[in-house]
Structure 1
Amino acid sequence: MYMLLLVVLGAIFLFTTFMVKPKRRIHRRLVSLGLLLVVVGGSGIYESYQNNGQVTGDNPRQSEKTTTSASSDLANLNYQNNQEIEVNNNTPTFTKAELNVSDGPWQRFADLDNLNRAIQADALLSKSLMPTAKREPLYVNPTGWHNKRIKGGWLYNRSHLIGYQLTGQNNNPKNLMTGTRSLNSPEMLKHENDIAYYLKQNPNNYIRYRVKPIYRGNELVARGVQMMAESLTNNGQPDNGVSFNVYIFNVEKGVKINYSDGTSLVNNNY
């Protein structure tokens, strides 16, 4: 808006100068001022158009929808200010068979792929799976683990797919990925805390849970993680106590991450 105003003022200066025809010295100054306003305003309008237009590639300004429905779509999304977005309008996509509670609580982890990456964790959570022992230190290094200190602490965490507080899984390579500090906490942790609270308040109920790192091609560090949960009564009926389907970008403010190997560069433009 301000840039357009500068262009208009510049045009008025030029028009008035040529119509009134003041003394030569004043004429030159007015023409110079008018041209300057037009150039500055025009440049600002062009830059604004470039910044707000749709672009492709890894530009963080890329225009993208806030909801999507397939994991293959998630891998192609680029971060755009919101670290968490909804998937499928925040509605879980578990099938009826996947919500079966007849076998009681369980947890399963997909085998590491040929690049040793954690792929997916599934569980039917209940209070009975929650650990009572204190967590031991982590020592497993997930793929792309090139950690370093940045402003405020470490860049990466060894991020559990299923948080320790939910099932007690700790140094399980199938349950660990390289995640930024903000991905791990507060983004993933807030959902894990909601789940833990529900299970403690409803010890006879369940939560069907799935966490899936989303990789782009053969990159060793996930671009983000999809988290999906649906709470169920003890006879397997959804009760809407906990229900979400979200995607969290694996990013950290002020850091440019090379997802192919986990190296990084501090860059305040990110």
Structure 2
Amino acid sequence: MKKNKNLKFIATILFLFVGFLFVDENFIQHDSNYNESFLNKIEEFLDIFGNEYEVTANSPYYKIDKNPPQFSEDDLKMSPDFSNYSELDELNRVGQANALIGPDSMPKAPRGDISKVYPTGWHQKFYKFVDGGAVYNRCHLIAYQLTGENDNWKNLMTGTRSFNTKGMLPFENSVANYIRDTGKKVRYRVTPIFVDDELVARGVIMEAYSIEDGGKKINFRVFVRNIEEGVKIDYKTGRTKIDKNNIIK
């Protein structure tokens, strides 16, 4: 009953708002300044219904930081699209990846074969209780759907299946959907976190900011954990074994 009342309220508001559009149509056509102001009001009105690109669900695989992404003013300047990847370190581990992503960056063809890339700590094993069986994925720091980077060794790390699909993917999808829907650009950065000389990252810090609307729609900093329920990971080597006590909460 309460849900129906809410729907009726929203429908009433929309009806009144649409009526307002038609009543003022003639005036709008003769005043360009009013047009701009009026369109801004429309955007404000639509914001009442929330930000459809925001990832709000709780997950054991990521933790959303209350602080905004740590981009400088220079980082947020408009420019042609780009993607930059750190050189592999002395242990062949990946480093920070940076990008400015827009419609032109996004791939026009399906992803190719990446099976010939072997990131550090790659010791694949299969467990029946893991989605797809394989405990590890070759995980893109910056997703293929965002920049079209395929078998770039500087952009692929060893990550668990759940790290990839339950941790990083919701945020990657939110950025991709925003760019497709609006045609606007997003500043994007992913930083892998290694402890000492470990070959498998403990996780990554993902940051994103929609430049042209001042971070109104895309604005997050999140730590994604490189973990898998029921599996114990030796982060120093990448080797894994069953751990029935490892129940992710």
Q: Same fold (TM over 0.5)?
A: yes
Retained in 2: the 8 A contact 1:90–1:246?
no
2:76 aligns with 99
Identical residues among aligned pairs (%): 45
Question: For residues 155 and 177 of structure 2, what CA distance do their matches in structure 1 show?
Answer: 22
1:222 aligns with 201
Retained in 1: the 8 A contact 2:167–2:225?
no
2:177 aligns with 197
Question: For residues 60 and 111 of structure 2, what CA distance do their matches in structure 1 show?
Answer: 31
**Selected match of 1:255 from 224, 231, 238:** 231
2:19 aligns with none
**Selected match of 1:164 from 129, 135, 144:** 144
Counterpart AA for 1:165:
Q
Structure 1, unaligned runs of 5 or more: 1-80
Displacement over 3 Å in runs of 4+: none
Q: How far apart are 1:157 and its partner, in Å?
A: 0.2
Provide Cα deviations, 1:4-45, integer angstroms capped at 9, x if missing partner.
Answer: xxxxxxxxxxxxxxxxxxxxxxxxxxxxxxxxxxxxxxxxxx
1:142 aligns with 2:113: no
Provide Cα deviations, 1:82-111, integer angstroms capped at 9, x if missing partner.
Answer: 321123x1411101111011x321110010
Within 5 A, what are the aligned runs for 1:1-270? 82-87=60-65, 89-101=66-78, 103-138=79-114, 139-151=116-128, 152=130, 153-203=133-183, 205-233=184-212, 238-270=214-246
User: Are residues 196 and 266 of structure 1, via their aligned partners in 2, closer, same or farther at CA, if it must alter by over 3 Å?
Assistant: same
TM-score w.r.t. length of structure 1: 0.66
Counterpart AA for 1:96:
E
Q: How far apart are 1:122 and its partner, in Å?
A: 0.2
Retained in 2: the 8 A contact 1:85–1:247?
yes
Provide Cα deviations, 1:139-166, integer angstroms capped at 9, x if missing partner.
Answer: 2010000011112311000000000000
Retained in 2: the 8 A contact 1:105–1:125?
yes
Question: For residues 152 and 245 of structure 2, what CA distance do their matches in structure 1 show?
Answer: 35
Provide Cα deviations, 1:205-241, integer angstroms capped at 9, x if missing partner.
Answer: 21000001100000000011110000111xxx51411
Name the SS for the 1:241 alignment partner.
coil
Provide Cα deviations, 1:187-213, integer angstroms capped at 9, x if missing partner.
Answer: 11111110010000111x210000011
Retained in 1: the 8 A contact 2:61–2:166?
no
Question: For residues 90 and 248 of structure 1, what CA distance do their matches in structure 2 show?
Answer: 15
Counterpart AA for 2:153:
P
Name the stretch that deviates more: 257-266 or 90-99: 90-99
Q: Which has the higher contact order (CA 8 A, sep 6+)?
A: 2
Question: For residues 133 and 261 of structure 1, what CA distance do their matches in structure 2 show?
Answer: 35
Retained in 2: the 8 A contact 1:206–1:231?
yes
Kindly report the root-mean-square deviation, in angstroms, between the aligned alpha carbons of the 2 structures.
Answer: 1.2
Q: How far apart are 1:183 and its partner, in Å?
A: 0.5
Structure 2, unaligned runs of 5 or more: 1-58
TM-score w.r.t. length of structure 2: 0.72
